[in-house]
Structures are given as C-alpha cells and as structure tokens.
Structure 1
Amino acid sequence: MLVHTLFRFLAALSVAVVTSASPSVLKLRQSIAPPRNWIDLGRAPSTHVIPLRIALPQHRFLELEQHLVEISDPFHERYGDHLSKEEVEALIAPHATSVDAVHEWLTGHGIQQESCDRSSAGDWITVHVPVAQAENMLGTEFRLWKHTQDGDVLIRTTEYSLPAHLDDHVELIQPTTAFHRAKGQRTSLHFSPTPATALSPSSDAMITVPGSGVTVNATCNATITVSCLKQLYNADRYVPQATKKNAIGLTGYLEQFANFEDLQKFYADQVPNAVNTSFDVVLINGGLNSQNISQAGDEADLDVQFGFGISSPTPGRYYSTGGRPKFTPDANTPTDTNEPYSNWLDFILAQKNIPQTISTSYGDDEQTVPKDLARRVCNGFAALGARGTSLLFSSGDGGVGDGNADPASQTCFTNDGKNQTKFLPGFPASCP
C-alpha cells in the first residue's frame, strides 16, 4: 500500500513538472505603466483585427555593426566597402530553430505559415488576428486608449506574455505596449495668408556668421532660402557630379502629400535651373499621393522643396508610408496600427537599389517607444547604413527639452508613472 501510494505521488509530481515546463505556460515578457496623456476607454472589440509583428533574434547583428563601423570610418582601410543586400540579410537573418519554434507556436493557435508575412531577411513575421485571439496568444487584455490632446485612439495593452520556451526565439511583439506615434518636427513653421515678398540676394550685402568665418547674404537674416542654406554650409558653388548614380530620398507619414505644382512655384522662385524637373513617388503600406492642391501637406512640401531644391539636379524620391488608419472605437475598422518606421524599413530593406541619402523629419519622445522595439528599429537603420545609405533624422525644433518649441507647453516628465522631471530625447534621432 505504501509503495502504491508513493508511486501515485511520484506520477503526480512528474505530471506537475511536465506541466510547468509546458509550452502553454506563459511568462511575462513586458509590463509598462499606463502612458501619460492616454486614457483608458475600456475593452477593445474582440473581433477587431490587429497586426502582430513578431521580431526574431538577429543572431549576427554584432558582426553587421562591426562592418558598419569600419566602412563608415574615413580612416579605416575598409571605408566605403559597403555590403550588398544579400550580405546584410545573411547577417540579420534568424536561426532556423527560431523560425521553426515561432511557426510551431503560431500553428498551435491555428495560424498557418502561408498566412504569415515575412520581411525580406525573415527576421520579422507579421500575422493579422482578431483581438480575442491575440489576447489568448499573449495572455493579456487589449484596451482602447485615447490621447487627451489630439483624440487619437489606439488598441494597446500594458503587458503581454509568451510561452517560456520562446525566450530565445522571440525578441518582441508589437504593437502591444508601444504608444509612440510619428509627429512632424515642424513647430517653428509660420504661415501668412498673404504671399511674402521675395528678398533677392544682393552681391554687395554680405554678413559674417559669428564664430564660424562663414559669410552669407544679408537677406538670410530675414528669410531662409535654398541659397542661404547652401551658403551656410559653404556649398553654394558645388555642382553634383554623379547625378546618374546618386539619389536622395525623403520620407512622408501622417497622410502628408508633396504637391508637384507647389514644387514648380518654389523652383521658379528659388531654384530656376530645376524648373520642370520633379521627383518619383513610392507608395508603402497603403501610402497615398493626392495631388489635390487643397490636400498638400505643409510638412511634405517643406521637406520636398528644400530637400530636392538643395540637392538638385540629383534625382529625388518621396516615400509615402501609410499605416495610421483613423480608428473609431464603435466602427468596424479592419485594422489598427501605427508602426511607420517598421513598415518603411520592411519595404526599403527589401529593395535592391536605394538612395544614398534618406532624410526624415518625423519623430516622437524616445520614452514612448519600448526599449526592445527602439533597438530593433535602430538595428534596421544600421542595416541600411551597412549598405551605404546615410540616414538623417530631425532632432526637433525646441532644443533641449521635450521637443516643443513653446516653453509654456513643454512637459519634461517621465512616462513611467513617477512624473520625474527629465530631458526627453527624440526618437529615432537618438538611435546610436
């Protein structure tokens, strides 16, 4: 009788041990405090479809980073020895074991491989699932969150879990705890209902920029033009030499459209040699290209006019990236997402030929981006750098602070529930 009882005890213990190591046991992966300026509106609709982006470990990223350091250093013997698309993908591709583990987990939730979207290197897998299914997969509860200032509504959670056996195979899943949004860095723009009088440069009126030795036309004290910017950087006499090989790219988000007609008026006023030239438009993730003059975006026009005006006659390319559908809690909206940089990176890294320089004038407070997601986005920029592309990101218009040019509107408080007073770096400008 004692032996029989002991046997039953050991059998029960064995089952308990197996159960505790079972893939169905979830382990908390991330938990955050409710973010500042967002209020909870209640449970998200269970049938609402959300895209889950699953990041698999880039096991050779440190090698890619070393390549980037060497080929970017003018004093290194490998300077300019850029990697190919295939070489970069080999360095950021996940192990086959990670791919198999993730697909096995997805299959267990009824998601077959053919319904998954994969990045070019295979390091991201995207699935579209109803909220109820996402909650079951991640052991969490998705809520509706509304921004108190602009009214944007997102479906997010403040924590999520994964099976413990996926620890080494999944870096992160978003959008879950990421509340960041791309914002145009243009708070110093001012518009007048009446056209401004152009100030023509005068060759006999020059001033010296204090502390630099650079001389510019005196009119640059009153208005900024393409000519002024070229003078400030001592590039006013430079003529691009490789316009058949080089290109410059500009990115647009938030339904911002660059208008061809506006550009021609700008060129006629400031860059006469560029009149009747234009730029290519590339649509990404549902991006649009409305040429309705009333829908022209001030951010998009500003970027295109000065970016392509300065670089002319180098060919220009404008990337219009979607991914911010207007979401109404009581509407049957098919998807809800706001991952502009990730969507753009998926596209651009899959291209064989990309511009040598790409500039972006959008960003958000760094603290609104979970560290693991920020790291992966920065890694994507590093992969572009290893292929020879220089990436420029605006750092904001307000100087040190929270990126708001109006001191009365600055709110330099942490987003962790403690409301500590700290400077708030901008993202992605803070990428290493």
Structure 2
Amino acid sequence: MRTFCCSGLLYLLALNPITGWAAPQKPCKYKVKESIAPPNGWVKHTTPPADHNIVLRIGLPQPDFHVLEQHLYEVSDPYHPRYGAHLSKEEVDRLVAPHQGSVDAVNEWLSSHGITEGGLSRSSAGDWVTLKLPVRLVEEMLNTTYHVWKHDNGDRIVRTTSYSLPEDLHDHIDLIQPTTMFGQFKELKSTIVFSDDTEAPAQFKNLAPIVNAATGVPVDASCNATITIKCLQQLYNAVGFTPTHAGNSIGITGYLEQFANIQDLQSFYADQRPDALGSSFEFISVKGGLNNQTLSEAGAEANLDVQFAFGLSHPIPGTFYSTAGRPPFDPDVGTPTNTNEPYQDWLDFILSHPNPPLSISTSYGDHEQTVPKSYAQRACKSFAQLGARGVSLMFSSGDGGVGDNNPNPATQKCFTNDGRNATRFIPLFPASCPFVTSVGGTVGVPEVAVSRFFSGGGFSDYFARPKYQDKVVRKYLEALPKGTYKGLFNRNGRGIPDVAAQGDRYRIFLSGQARLIGGTSASSPTFAGIVALLNDVRLSNGQPPLGFLNPLLYSKAASGFNDITVGHNSGCGTTGFNKDGIQVTGIQSFTGLGTPNFGKLKKLVS
C-alpha cells in the first residue's frame, strides 16, 4: 500500500500485482503546469462537444539525457578515442527512458480516470504516452476548460490557454499537448521557390567551362543558370566517384501530402542520370501517410528532394517517408497558418526502427518562436538520439534571411509573439536544434549567397551556442561592426546554418514537365547526398558511418569546405548578416562553413 496524489485527489493505492495501476480514494491539490496568453488573432468562439476527441501526447522526463548527450559528443568527436562507436537502439532507449517512478505515477493517474494499458500507446523508449480521449475527460484530468478558438481568418481549433496537474505529478511529466499549442491545419509553407524557366538561357550555352578556383575542377558555364546532377558533381569535386558499399543508405522525409512520383523520377533519371533508369526508392508510410502516384498529385518538394538526393547518391538505396497529420503550434503574426511538421510522429517511428537510413534530409521548417519551447526541446532531444545511433540529419535553414524576406519593409513581420511585439530576427526550427546540421543556400559559379531569395540564418533564441561552434562564431561576432543589430538576436545562441550548397534553379521533373525550382529545400537534400557519398568512403574502408556531423565539420573537416566570401541574408528591413568586407574564414552567418569539397572531405573523413 502507498499514497499518491492524483487527479485532484489523494489516493490510497492497493496496487494490482500485474499492472501496478490502482484506484482513487481522497482529494489533493492541483498546480498550473503551463499557461499562455491567447496568441494574436485568436478569440474564444464556442464550447466543443463533450465527446470531441483529442489525441493527447504526454511527455515523461528523460532523467539520463545528459548521459546520452555525453555519449553523442564522444562518438561524434573525431579526436576522441570513441569516435564512431555509435550506440545501438536498445542502448539509446535505455538512456532516454523515464524512471519507473514516473511511469508508475502516470499509470496510476490514468487509471484513476478509467484509462488502462489497452487504451494507450508508448514510444520505443517509453518516454511518450499517446492516447485518444473525449475533451470532457481531458478537461477533468487537466483541471481546465477547452474552447473552440476562432482565428481572424475564420479557422477554428479546440485548445486551452492553461492546464494543471496534481502537484505530485509535476516532476513526472514534462509536457502535455495539444493543450496550449494553437494551430491552423492548412497547406505547408515550405522553404521552396519556383521558377517558370526550364532551360539555361542561350547566353550560357556553348561557353567554355569555368574552372572552380576552390577545387580546380572545370564547371559547365550553364550551371550559372540551371543546376543538374552533373553541375553538383563538378561544383563539389565528386566527378567520377561511384558508391559501392551495400550497407549504405539515404532517406528523405515528406509531410503534408507531398507525394514523390516515380514516373517523374524516371524522367529525371533519363534526363540527368541515365545509369539510374529503372531504379526507384523504398516507400514507407508513417501514421497513414500516402504516396499517391497520380501524376497530377506529384509534389514539388517531394520530387525535388528524392530526385536530387537519390540522383546524386545513386546507387545507394533510398527511402522516402510520408508522414500523415499536421501538428499544433503557437502562431505568430508571420505564420497565421499551420506550417509546422509532425516531427514527433516521424521521430517516434524512426526511433523504433532498428536500421534507419544513415543520411536523412528534411526540407521543412518553421519560425522557431511558432513552436512552443518545451515541444522544440523534446523534438531536439529525439534528433540527438538518432545522432548517437550513427544517423546524420540535415535540415534546410530556410528562405527568409534573418526572418522575413518580403521586399516591402512595411509588411515584414519580424517581431515576437510573446505579448511584447518586440522587433526580433526569427531563426528557423528544427534547423536551430544543435543536434542537426543546418544547410543554407548558394548560387552561381563562383558561388555566392543566393540573390533571388535569401538563405536563412541567424541565432537561436531557444538553444545555447554549442561548444563545437563556439570558436568560429565568436570570431564572426567579434568581426561585426560594434552594435550591429543590438537586441535583434541572441548573441549566445546556436548559430545557423552550419554548411551550404547550391539552392536555386534546380532542374526537376514535376507532373511530367521539366521545371526549375529553388530554395534551401534544394540545398539540404544535396548536402545529404554528399554525406551519403562520404559514408560510402568510410564504410568501404571498414569504418563506421559519420553520424552526427557537426563536431567533425567544425574541427577536422573544416578545411574541406569552400568558403563563401560574398553576400548577405537580408530580412526584417535589414541586410542581415554578411561577409562583405569581413575578413574571417569559416564564419557563421548565412552559409556557415561553406560548400563541400568532396575530394578533400573524403580524405579528411577516412
């Protein structure tokens, strides 16, 4: 027998010998767990039906995450004796599992409301509990009241602005959502930019190749107008390299009904990679995600990602994940619709997989402040789990410069959504997570920062600057003119992006037609393809894959990048961060360490 405070009652628990769950006896005290002001644009509208279902996600603490983080940095540091000694799925699960006391406390709380083990699901490590409940029961459990909230644009959502838990549960639960996360489930705002042109302009044809000063490799002049697989191989010194190791792999994530069309992929291969004709990718559905093959339903984002990531890394086996669902978020004035991705659903799935792809690219992201900090931190810890297992994760840094690249300063929306409405640069998440590699964009030969749109970059407000980039970021900040953008960014935050790659005028096939497309959503799968090639070098030498890249990139491999010396990342009515006139190499601004030189990197990583 033992006492437990739960659901507003003090319970005397007679434990079930099989489940350990029990039933209530006496009252106890609630305490607010989280409370927010209603976000801009939302007003209470009506009361939801009592039987309206909510899929509730309960995050249990990960008390040993600091141990996992230590392992992650040791196995990712090329100068550490444990470099490359990645952990197994089972080892990672043990390091992020909640204490049994937390599991028991949550079980008992759920049992007090009639919820049994059969009515819920648990993540691979047991750190997330997911269940579907009617709103009337959720209100009782959280001592709160949900409302239908209406946005200025007419959208509606069922949420609350505050929820409470019994005091004894506060140490056993990190967060519960959806509660205070407001969202509007509409189409994705990806980091993608279109062009109606499909061919290189005549003035670029029949010109002599341009010798890339950074690599010494000739690059077709047409690459100044149209990016192909051949251009990327030339630009990044990967001409003639053919992957051979059977154990290699690469993956692309897809969200919000973005379908990767196989017929378009074959047209792309016929156009740019004829040796890959007839090959395809493995499709994996997450949470009921689809990959419809009607040509008219082909997704620009999905086609771009799979065509260039898999085309550049052929014949390395590729996997395309389609995740269904649209998650909640706190909207800011610059993001009035739901542009977050269901990262946690995909993460739960991939973390349960014994052999995830070794190089994975995601071309979606959102303003960091639109994702509640508690949710962002938990998702970031999930990325760390993958890194510890030997997976390299790439994310686009975004196309908004330091926040909003709207050319009209009067309509740019660069201010906080915390009630202060303070002017602020807005970094992108998940790119701001220190456990992923953020990829910015370049254009042209020689490469400069993109001019038709602006490579996202800046400094996180959620995550502190990690040790691996401390030296280079400090040098850059010291080189900035004194007082530059004082108060507009967090000088102690994690800097993004880490690296860069071409980001404009990629020639893809979409619904049977050639199109030119751009955005850092092109840069990320390109860099992921290069990482897959580097993994092939290591695997062929009997070495483990690269895994979490950043400690390597900022140290031993830093000389394997082409520094970008020209450009800036405008936004928020400013020119953003820049390199113009700043004589510091390898700086962190809008292109990070620069673009990859595969010829150098394959020697540095082997």
- TM-score range relative to shorter protein: 0.7 to 0.9
Q: Indicate whether 1:173 and 2:176 are aligned.
A: yes
What is the alpha-carbon distance in structure 2 between the residues aligned to residue 386 and residue 407 of structure 1? Answer: 44
**Structure 1: any 5+ residue segments left out of the alignment?**
1-17, 327-335
Deviation by residue 1:118-166 (Cα, 9 ceiling, x = unmatched) = 01111111111111111111122223345556x6543222221111101
Query: Judging changes above 3 Å, is the alpha-carbon distance between structure 1 residues 212 and 413 closer, same or farther for their aligned structure 2 residues?
Result: farther
Write the mapping of 1:12-91 to structure 2, written as runs, cut at 5 A. 24-91=28-95
Which residue does 2:219 correspond to in 1?
216
Deviation by residue 1:185-224 (Cα, 9 ceiling, x = unmatched) = 33422246xx547999989722256778775221111112
Query: Judging changes above 3 Å, is the alpha-carbon distance between structure 1 residues 249 and 39 closer, same or farther for their aligned structure 2 residues?
Result: farther
1:421 is aligned with what amino acid?
T
What is the alpha-carbon distance in structure 2 between the residues aligned to residue 356 and residue 252 of structure 1? Answer: 17
Deviation by residue 1:31-75 (Cα, 9 ceiling, x = unmatched) = 122223545433333221111110111111101001110111111
Write the mapping of 1:24-423 to structure 2, written as runs, cut at 5 A. 24-146=28-150, 148=152, 153-179=156-182, 183-191=188-196, 196=199, 205-208=208-211, 215-242=218-245, 244-324=246-326, 340-402=342-404, 404=405, 410-423=412-425
Matched residue of 2:37: which SS?
Answer: coil
Which stretch shows the higher mean deviation, 92-101 or 406-415? 406-415
Matched residue of 1:306: which SS?
Answer: helix
Deviation by residue 1:227-284 (Cα, 9 ceiling, x = unmatched) = 2223222223322232x10111100001111100111111111111111110011001
2:122 is aligned with what amino acid?
R
Query: Judging changes above 3 Å, is the alpha-carbon distance between structure 1 residues 145 and 298 closer, same or farther for their aligned structure 2 residues?
Result: farther
What is the alpha-carbon distance in structure 2 between the residues aligned to residue 91 and residue 40 of structure 1? Answer: 42
1:137 is aligned with what amino acid?
M
Query: Judging changes above 3 Å, is the alpha-carbon distance between structure 1 residues 273 and 152 closer, same or farther for their aligned structure 2 residues?
Result: farther
What is the alpha-carbon distance in structure 2 between the residues aligned to residue 352 and residue 366 of structure 1? Answer: 30
Matched residue of 1:189: which SS?
Answer: strand
1:324 is aligned with what amino acid?
R
User: Is this contact kept in 1: 2:286–2:322, CA < 8 A?
Assistant: yes
Query: Judging changes above 3 Å, is the alpha-carbon distance between structure 1 residues 200 and 365 closer, same or farther for their aligned structure 2 residues?
Result: same
Query: Judging changes above 3 Å, is the alpha-carbon distance between structure 1 residues 219 and 47 closer, same or farther for their aligned structure 2 residues?
Result: same
User: Is this contact kept in 1: 2:68–2:92, CA < 8 A?
Assistant: yes
What is the alpha-carbon distance in structure 1 between the residues aligned to residue 206 and residue 237 of structure 2? Answer: 16
What is the alpha-carbon distance in structure 1 between the residues aligned to residue 416 and residue 251 of structure 2? Answer: 34
User: Is this contact kept in 2: 1:250–1:318, CA < 8 A?
Assistant: yes
Deviation by residue 1:3-52 (Cα, 9 ceiling, x = unmatched) = xxxxxxxxxxxxxxx89xx7642211111222235454333332211111
User: Is this contact kept in 2: 1:205–1:218, CA < 8 A?
Assistant: yes
Which residue does 2:467 correspond to in 1?
none
User: Is this contact kept in 2: 1:399–1:405, CA < 8 A?
Assistant: no
User: Is this contact kept in 2: 1:203–1:217, CA < 8 A?
Assistant: no
What is the alpha-carbon distance in structure 2 between the residues aligned to residue 291 and residue 148 of structure 1? Answer: 36
Matched residue of 1:287: which SS?
Answer: coil
For normalisation by structure 2, the TM-score amounts to 0.61
Aligned length: 399
Matched residue of 1:47: which SS?
Answer: coil
Query: Judging changes above 3 Å, is the alpha-carbon distance between structure 1 residues 114 and 294 closer, same or farther for their aligned structure 2 residues?
Result: same
Which of structures 1 and 2 has the bigger CA Rg? 1
RMSD: 2.8
Query: Judging changes above 3 Å, is the alpha-carbon distance between structure 1 residues 199 and 363 closer, same or farther for their aligned structure 2 residues?
Result: farther
Matched residue of 1:373: which SS?
Answer: helix
For normalisation by structure 1, the TM-score amounts to 0.85
What is the alpha-carbon distance in structure 2 between the residues aligned to residue 70 and residue 407 of structure 1? Answer: 47
What is the alpha-carbon distance in structure 2 between the residues aligned to residue 94 and residue 278 of structure 1? Answer: 40
What is the alpha-carbon distance in structure 2 between the residues aligned to residue 245 and residue 365 of structure 1? Answer: 36
Identical pairs, percent = 57
Query: Judging changes above 3 Å, is the alpha-carbon distance between structure 1 residues 260 and 147 closer, same or farther for their aligned structure 2 residues?
Result: farther
User: Is this contact kept in 2: 1:214–1:234, CA < 8 A?
Assistant: yes
Matched residue of 2:194: which SS?
Answer: coil
Deviation by residue 1:56-113 (Cα, 9 ceiling, x = unmatched) = 1111110100111011111111111000010001101111110000011111111112
Matched residue of 1:82: which SS?
Answer: coil
What is the alpha-carbon distance in structure 1 between the residues aligned to residue 122 and residue 144 of structure 2? Answer: 24
Query: Judging changes above 3 Å, is the alpha-carbon distance between structure 1 residues 77 and 368 closer, same or farther for their aligned structure 2 residues?
Result: same
What is the alpha-carbon distance in structure 2 between the residues aligned to residue 410 and residue 165 of structure 1? Answer: 45
What is the alpha-carbon distance in structure 1 between the residues aligned to residue 322 and residue 249 of structure 2? Answer: 17
What is the alpha-carbon distance in structure 2 between the residues aligned to residue 99 and residue 229 of structure 1? Answer: 50
Matched residue of 2:401: which SS?
Answer: coil
**Structure 2: any 5+ residue segments left out of the alignment?**
1-9, 12-25, 329-337, 435-606
Matched residue of 1:317: which SS?
Answer: strand
Query: Judging changes above 3 Å, is the alpha-carbon distance between structure 1 residues 344 and 405 closer, same or farther for their aligned structure 2 residues?
Result: farther
User: Is this contact kept in 2: 1:202–1:217, CA < 8 A?
Assistant: no
Query: Judging changes above 3 Å, is the alpha-carbon distance between structure 1 residues 161 and 325 closer, same or farther for their aligned structure 2 residues?
Result: closer
User: Is this contact kept in 2: 1:82–1:387, CA < 8 A?
Assistant: yes
What is the alpha-carbon distance in structure 2 between the residues aligned to residue 413 and residue 127 of structure 1? Answer: 36
User: Is this contact kept in 2: 1:255–1:322, CA < 8 A?
Assistant: yes
What is the alpha-carbon distance in structure 2 between the residues aligned to residue 307 and residue 351 of structure 1? Answer: 21
User: Is this contact kept in 2: 1:34–1:416, CA < 8 A?
Assistant: no
User: Is this contact kept in 1: 2:144–2:163, CA < 8 A?
Assistant: yes
